[in-house]
Amino acid sequence: MTTKGMLTSSSLENPWARTLDSLKRTWYKFSRNWLSVLGLVMVVTIFFLAVFAPYVAPYPQHSGKFVDFKSKNQPPSWQHLMGTDTIGRDILSRIIFAFRNALLMAIVVLAISVPFGTLTGLTAGYYSGTWVETVIMRVTDVFISIPPIILALSIAAMLKPTLMNSMIAVTVSWWPWYTRITYSLASSIKNEYYVQAAELTGASKIYILFREILPNCSSSLLTKMALDVGWVTLVGAALSFVGLGEQPPKPALGTMIAEGVERMPTQWWIALFPALAIMFVVLGFNLFGDGIRDALSPEEA
Amino acid sequence: MKNLKSLLYLIILVALLAIPVIGITAASAAEHNPESIVRWCEDWPTYIDPAVGTDFSDTMAIVQLYDTLIFPNLDGSVRPHVAEKWDISDDFLTYTFYLRKGVKFHNGDELTAEDVVFSTERLFDIGEGFAYILQTKDAQGKIIAGIESVKAIDDYTVEFKLARPFGPFVPALVRLYILNKSQVMKNIDKSNAMYGEMGDYGKKWLLTNDAGSGPYKVKEMKMEESLLGEKFDDYWDGWEEGAPDFFKEFAFPGEVAIRTMMKNQELEITSETLPMEAYAALREIPGVETIAYLSTHNLQIMLNTRVPPTDDIHFRKALSWAMDYDVVVNDIWPYYVQSVGPVPQTLPGHNKDVLQYSYNLEKAKEEMAKSAYAGKENIPFTLSWCAEVPDEEKVALLFQVNAAEIGIDVEIFKKPFGLMIDDAQTVKTTPNGSVVYVAAHYNEAGSMLDTRYHSKSQGTWEQCEWLGSPNIDTAIEVALATVDEDERFKEYAEIQNTLVDLAPTIWLADQALEFGYQADYLVWPLAERVKAGKSSSPPMGYSFYVRDMKILVEKKAELLKK
């Protein structure tokens, strides 16, 4: 590891070089497993397709108000790489547009449940043994005791079926897991010497929570977040499969599968490709999440 | 003495030997072959009580369990049934029916005029089911049309007095099912005083039992699941060789399951609501054929005429001109035909000369310009379609595309039929548009007009328009009261013109019912007729009259071996 020594010495002089150095090290740990790199490629692909959907989808108009019964149920061909559905719409285009909503859902759900879950978890962990912990963790337990899919289903069924409401439903069932994970980490980290030292020097509670404890939880949280993008997509697809997500004609992966299932096995492409698309998302983010865990793990290999 | 003892032993011995023999003969008379069964999967019948049930799956079961005074032929006419003949008074207000003797109920009681009187009164007291066809009350509860009173002259003569002449009275009697009075009275739940001293009028008991004299009786009724009916051996009109011993009607299991069941001979007739791709797949199964025939049902988008923007007549006309009907009848349902006005073309009294809307964007835009929404864009519009009929989504999506061409933003809702029924109960909850199939209840245009556009059906799924027009109400009442058929049909025709001009509905198509069935071992009179090219439009439910079908049991076993 001669290069490593060289980088370290140069990093002493230049803070940018130091950052670069740590990034390189992270990348090294990440890329040691080719599956992680594959996961990264998949994730980048999904984001690229979702962001540039109107430009990359062969038939962007097929994702909205569109019917063409003359070209329905066509098997995969050069015109339609994944075939057409019962309405005559290009399945590939619809999958690409469905990625948009799938990612939007994952991002919104995580953007709400991660800060909320982390904050409650940190507080409960730091004040473990007091009534604060009891209140927060028992409420969390109540939510965790209900299987997320059932909770999400019942919330989504009560509200009007829209993408927004299915996001709310999934968020409600998602935050407790972040509370739980942060709580368990925080309640052990708070006994570390550096936390006690900070307390003794008179650091504020806010400082201790966010500058001493939280950074030490971040690797677990980031890994979980990466994995969760896939899982949220899956739950979102389950909701739309039963008609509780994005409403037609806007594409949703679950809805597309539900439509296609009835056409199996003769028109297999209608259900198969959206199903593979879900698999692609879940697998991609799982491999990527594994990579992040490896990269951020403190122990040297 | 000894001889006497021997004789006694001999008698006992003979008696002992005889018991099993008698047992066997008795059993064989009642023994029905479980293989001789006709099964279909429209839905489980929610109400087999003829004073309550009205929909397709209900009537499919009720026609097997109960008898009526007259019977509908497959060509749309009627013939005497439990009533051998009838007289009509000169003022067309009194109908006297003479009943057949020896008609037995399933429990062995004889059917008499008293039972007819009871069944009529029960229907009106409960006021659900098909009551509205046979009697109309005004807001004060006064009977203004239909049957005013009924009485038994003697055991086999029953007399109906009408409030005013009712042209199609005799055909409408296909919806007066006869129950066994004494059996129902024995099963009344007195703890529920919903109908005064009649308690619950036997409603609870009749959810899972029958009190009829029809060719089949309830063998097993599983709520939310299925009805198994068994042949009634003592049916008054006798039985032909090969008539099915059982029928079973059960909940829609899904398209894929239907195909598998047809393949395995676990299902004889499919439901009629499958997408066209499914019928194509069914035709591939050996021994399975599909038939399609124009029915007395039509498919439409009902427009709520009391809420914006569909309260505007020009807006509604614009929509009627914007719909691409050809796609509906060519690409979505190839056997359907475009509707000509509000009445299905197979019904006597249909007016073929009414204006027929077509896909014409210029006219649509012209009408739009006359409406209060001229020049506006993205006008919000809510549309519900029935989750149980997957192909309705295609219509909804087509409508959405068509409406967008004239600046309307349609939001689509997939709703289970039960929720659509709930939504239809108030003006506010009824969406702008509802994709709905409606069937005529008896074979005349008047049935359709009365059900669809008379104010009395507001608040039910059969009228999501909330038309509430006193003029149309009166016109319908007058037409139904007209005894002379030509005269009556002229009045029907005029009402149809008025309605088309109001455009409360987008009449899409007359429904062709398409069924897959086991042509190799099921003889189905309706299918034979259709295949012979004859038109066939029995009232709802009668296309499945099991007594006239035949199961070729041996052929079936042979096919199964292959």
What is the per-residue pLDDT across B342-390, written as a single tens digit (0 to 9) for each? 999 988 899 999 999 999 999 999 999 999 998 888 899 999 999 878 8
Q: What is the DSSP string of B442-458?
A: SSSHHHHHHHHHSGGGT
Confidence of residue B13 (pLDDT cuts 50, 70, 90): low
CA distance A17 to chain B (A): 55
Hey, what long-range contacts does A36-40 have (CB within 8 A, 24 or more apart)? A36/A287, A36/A288, A36/A290, A36/A291, A36/A292, A36/A294, A36/A295, A37/A291, A38/A287, A39/A283, A39/A284, A39/A285, A39/A286, A39/A287, A39/A288, A39/A289, A39/A290, A39/A291, A40/A287, A40/A288, A40/A291
Q: HEC states along B103-116?
A: CECCCCCECCHHHH
Last residue of some domain: B476, B492, B511? B511
- Which residue in the set A72, A247, A264 is minimally distant from B412, CB to CB? A247
C-alpha B481/C-alpha B485 separation (Å) is 10
pLDDT of residue A72: 86
How many domains are contained in chain A?
1
Confidence of residue A3 (pLDDT cuts 50, 70, 90): very low
Is B429:B423 a contact under the CB 8 Å cutoff?
A: yes
What is the span of the domain harbouring residue A204? Answer: 29-55+80-296
What is the pLDDT averaged over residues B416-427? 87
Is pLDDT of B29 > 60?
no
Is pLDDT of B224 > 80?
yes
C-alpha B447/C-alpha B175 separation (Å) is 12
The answer for B224, left when phi > 0, alpha when psi is -120 to 50, beta otherwise, is: left
In this structure, what is the dihedral angle of CA atoms A284, A287, A293, A299, given to the nearest 10 degrees?
A: -150
Residue pLDDT, tens place only, A62-99: 998 898 888 888 999 999 999 999 889 999 999 999 99
pLDDT of residue B8: 65
Mean pLDDT computed over every residue of chain B = 90
Beta strand pairing call for B246-250 and B37-40: parallel
Lowest mean pLDDT among A157-171, B16-30, B51-65, B424-438: B16-30
DSSP at B321: H
Give contacts of A86 with chain B, Cβ < 8 Å: 275, 277, 394
ipTM over 0.95: no
| Same domain? B461 vs B355 | yes
Question: Does a structural domain hold residue A165?
Answer: yes
Q: HEC states along chain A?
A: CHHHHHHHHHHCCCHHHHHHHHHHHHHHHHHCCHHHHHHHHHHHHHHHHHHCHHHHCCCHHHHCCCCCHHHCCCCCCCCCCCCECCCCCEHHHHHHHHHHHHHHHHHHHHHHHHHHHHHHHHHHHHCCCCHHHHHHHHHHHHHHHCCHHHHHHHHHHHCCCCHHHHHHHHHHHHHHHHHHHHHHHHHHHCCCHHHHHHHHCCCCHHHHHHHHHHHHHHHHHHHHHHHHHHHHHHHHHHHHHCCCCCCCCCCCHHHHHHHHHCCCCCCCHHHHHHHHHHHHHHHHHHHHHHHHHHHHCCCCC
Confidence of residue B16 (pLDDT cuts 50, 70, 90): low
Question: Does a structural domain hold residue B54?
Answer: yes
Nearest alpha carbon to residue A275 among A250, A244, A238: A238
Question: Are A69 and B411 inside 8 Å of each other by CB?
Answer: no
Nearest alpha carbon to residue B57 among B211, B227, B301: B227
C-alpha B92/C-alpha B26 separation (Å) is 50
Tally of CB atoms within 10 A around B254: 12
C-alpha A57/C-alpha A97 separation (Å) is 8
Higher per-residue pLDDT: A264 or B411: B411
Last residue of some domain: B472, B495, B511? B511
> Token match 């409030």: residue?
B163
A34 half-sphere exposure, CB direction, 13 A CA radius: 0
Last residue of some domain: B205, B229, B261? B205
Residue pLDDT, tens place only, A11-68: 456 778 888 888 888 888 888 889 999 999 999 999 999 999 999 999 999 998 898 8
Is pLDDT of B27 > 70?
no
Question: Does a structural domain hold residue B420?
Answer: yes
| Same domain? B488 vs B443 | yes
Question: Does a structural domain hold residue A22?
Answer: no
Nearest alpha carbon to residue B401 among B323, B317, B330, B299: B323
pLDDT of residue A76: 93
Averaging pLDDT over each range in A12-16, A29-33, A119-123, B442-446, which range is the top one? A119-123
pLDDT of residue B240: 93
pLDDT of residue B176: 95
Give contacts of A239 with chain B, Cβ < 8 Å: none
Number of A–B residue contacts, CB under 8 Å: 50
Is pLDDT of A298 > 70?
no
Phi, psi at A275, each rounded to 5°: -65, -45
Is B118:B192 a contact under the CB 8 Å cutoff?
A: no
- In our burial notation (b when 16+ CB lie closer than 10 A, e otherwise), range A8-46 reads eeebeeeeeeeeebeeeeeeebbeeeeebbebbebbeeb
Question: Does a structural domain hold residue A180?
Answer: yes
DSSP at B208: T
Question: Does a structural domain hold residue B356?
Answer: yes
What's the token pair of residue B442?
A: 């008896």
Averaging pLDDT over each range in A293-297, B15-19, B56-60, B416-420, which range is the top one? B56-60
How many domains are contained in chain B?
3
What is the span of the domain harbouring residue B341? Answer: 294-511
Question: Does a structural domain hold residue A272?
Answer: yes
Give contacts of B412 with chain A, Cβ < 8 Å: 247-249
- Which residue in the set A67, A243, A262 is minimally distant from B398, CB to CB? A67
The answer for B127, left when phi > 0, alpha when psi is -120 to 50, beta otherwise, is: left
| Same domain? B549 vs B507 | no
| Same domain? B507 vs B524 | no
| Same domain? B356 vs B499 | yes
C-alpha B393/C-alpha B377 separation (Å) is 24
| Same domain? B388 vs B461 | yes
Question: Does a structural domain hold residue B196?
Answer: yes
| Same domain? B558 vs B410 | no
Question: Does a structural domain hold residue B15?
Answer: no
Interface test with A, best of B284, B414, B429 (most A CBs within 10 A): B414
CA distance B214 to chain A (A): 37
Question: Are B277 and A248 inside 8 Å of each other by CB?
Answer: no
Question: Are A262 and B255 inside 8 Å of each other by CB?
Answer: yes
CATH number where A184 lies: 1.10.3720.10
pLDDT of residue A279: 94
Question: Does a structural domain hold residue A18?
Answer: no
Question: Does a structural domain hold residue B10?
Answer: no
Query: Edge-to-edge strand order for the sheet containing B216-222?
Result: B37-40, B246-250, B226-231, B216-222
Question: Are B256 and A262 inside 8 Å of each other by CB?
Answer: yes
pLDDT of residue B192: 84
Mean pLDDT computed over every residue of chain A = 88
Q: Which amino acid is at B432?
A: N
Question: Does a structural domain hold residue A197?
Answer: yes
What is the pLDDT averaged over residues B131-142? 85
A282 half-sphere exposure, CB direction, 13 A CA radius: 14
pLDDT of residue B457: 87
CATH number where B389 lies: 3.10.105.10
Question: Are B394 and A86 inside 8 Å of each other by CB?
Answer: yes
CATH number where B245 lies: 3.40.190.10
B26 half-sphere exposure, CB direction, 13 A CA radius: 6
What is the pLDDT averaged over residues A248-252? 87
- Which residue in the set A65, A247, A262 is minimally distant from B401, CB to CB? A65
| Same domain? B182 vs B193 | yes
**What is the percent of chain B where pLDDT is above 90?**
65
Chain B residue whose CA is closest to A244: B414
| Same domain? B59 vs B71 | no
Question: Does a structural domain hold residue B1?
Answer: no
Residue pLDDT, tens place only, B81-90: 999 999 999 9
Residue pLDDT, tens place only, A191-215: 899 988 998 998 898 999 998 899 8
Q: B215: which residues sit within 8 A by CB, 6+ positions away?
A: B64, B231, B232, B235, B237, B239, B546, B547
pLDDT of residue B415: 86
C-alpha B550/C-alpha B490 separation (Å) is 41
Could you tell me which residues of chain A have a Cβ less than 8 Å from any Cβ in chain B? 65-67, 69-70, 72-73, 86-87, 161, 243, 247-249, 261-264, 266-267
C-alpha B49/C-alpha B203 separation (Å) is 7
pLDDT of residue A31: 86
Higher per-residue pLDDT: A2 or B212: B212
Angle between helices B255-263 and B276-283 in degrees, nearest 10: 10
| Same domain? B319 vs B377 | yes
Higher per-residue pLDDT: B10 or A11: B10
Question: Does a structural domain hold residue B540?
Answer: yes
| Same domain? B249 vs B395 | no
Lowest mean pLDDT among B89-98, B101-110, B252-261: B252-261
Q: Using CB atoms within 10 Å of the CB of residue B523, give its burial: 0 to 12 exposed, 13 to 18 middle, 19+ buried.
A: middle
Is pLDDT of B318 > 60?
yes
| Same domain? B447 vs B437 | yes
pLDDT of residue B3: 64
